[in-house]
Amino acid sequence: MSDLPSNAVSRAFKLATLPVGFAGRAAWGLGKRIGGRPAELVALEMQARAAEQLFAVLGELKGGAMKFGQALSIFESALPEEAAAPYRAMLTKLQDSAPALPPDRVHAVLTQEFGPRWRSRFLEFDDEAVAAASIGQVHRAVWKDGREIAVKVQYPGAAKALLSDLAQVSRVARVATTWIPGLDIDPVLEELRGRMAEELDYRMEASSQKAFAQAYAGDAHVAVPQVVAFSQRVLVSEWLPGTPLSSLIDKGEAADRDAAGTAYMRFLLEGPGRCGLLHADPHPGNFRLLPDGRLGVLDFGAVKHLPTGLPDDMGRLLTLGIDGDAVSTLAGLREIGFVRDGVDVDAERLLEYLEPFIAPLRVDEFHFSREWLREVFAHINDPRKPNYTVGMRLNLPAEYLLIHRVWLGGIGVLCQLGATVPGRATVDELIPGSDLPPVSASA
């Protein structure tokens, strides 16, 4: 494989096979059931085939298609356990790897970005990629001053492919994401479109990474690699050793998963107040547990600028919810646009609807799990429950869209980790405006 496939027709054809494949599997499953095979077994086989096709196509195409897959990957915890295994295996691969560019194409990009004598910048350069993701791949190397470094090289044709992919993915997304209960895919796609220009220019990513690195220099819990060199399509950073969260999810010890989950949650909440930026790509491949116990953070292509930190209203409304003040909670949500003028919502039903999201803050420590997340999805998406219509009446203001997606993504990762974290203390410390009451004896 050479360049990132950028021919719109060939890429569109691959993406178009997804709904066709789903329809074919449905027919295959019906035939199997008519032939006498148990329905449960047929359903599991169809899930496995669906996962394999969906993420194999997205991973092969890289670009916007794979970026879309990574955005979905954090939601696999909401799947029923018996159906999640095949998706989990494919998603883990998608989060960390994709087919790599051959050395000659990598060298061509480095020549174009750093000049014909680019090798003089390195004492060593490994032609074999150690990681490959949606729009670029990473090579391990040694900088001319002896530092171990990571060299991220953007795929040729990435920009054209991204725009084409997102247009095509929009057409098939509703079919390809039917396995995620209650997921509204339109905001995910819209947010991805809005971030593409920033992610394609590594100069912008370098600027964001420098801001995070400066803010977290010497931090006891979080490590951000220093930027060594950069251009529009190449970014050189100090190397961070460690175990990716995706590996901890698969086979990590409970103590490591708890430590990583605690630092992960803290980083997502703390960043805006510390450096005016929200890290907006929370999937596990961007985080790792370092040998010294710190959380290493990678990939700063997707960020949201929040110069004054997280909105004060977040903490105030959480406090009202914890207090059980339904009327004031509804009034606060109306003030900031989560409930539009003229929309009738029962205050008590609203608080009941929000309870699963408040529950982790009712105790000093909370254990995030796949089982809990499945219960949350069932709670908000079961039409038989009286509070089901509440969610349909809520609105998500544009300024909260990315914050909301990052927080939901972070919850998904915490549930994948199965981490027990001091969420209450972390939120009370880091979210502006929060003044959580003492934990009651019955909590």
What's the rounded Cα separation, in Å, for the pair 185 and 193? 13
Q: What is the pLDDT of residue 189?
A: 63
Helix, strand or coil, per DSSP, at residue 100? coil
Query: Cα-atom radius of gyration of the chain, to the nearest Å?
Result: 23
Give the pair of three-digit tokens for residue 276. 């005016």
Query: What is the token pair recorded at 358?
Result: 């408040």
pTM for the whole structure:
0.76
Residue-wise pLDDT tens for the chain (443 aa)?
A: 345 544 444 444 444 444 444 434 343 333 443 444 444 444 445 445 555 555 555 544 454 455 555 555 555 555 555 555 555 555 555 544 456 789 999 999 999 999 999 999 999 999 999 987 668 899 999 999 999 999 999 988 877 766 666 666 565 555 555 544 444 556 656 666 666 667 788 999 999 999 999 999 999 999 999 999 999 999 999 999 999 998 999 899 999 999 999 999 999 999 999 999 999 888 888 999 999 999 999 999 889 999 999 998 999 999 999 999 999 999 999 999 999 888 899 999 999 999 888 889 889 999 999 889 888 887 877 777 777 788 878 887 878 878 887 888 899 899 999 999 998 999 999 998 888 877 754 44
Per cent of the chain over pLDDT 90 is 46
- The span from the CA of 236 to the CA of 140, in Å, is 10
Summary mean pLDDT of the chain: 78
Confirm if 254 and 380 have CB atoms less than 8 A apart.
no
Residue 211: the pLDDT is: 97
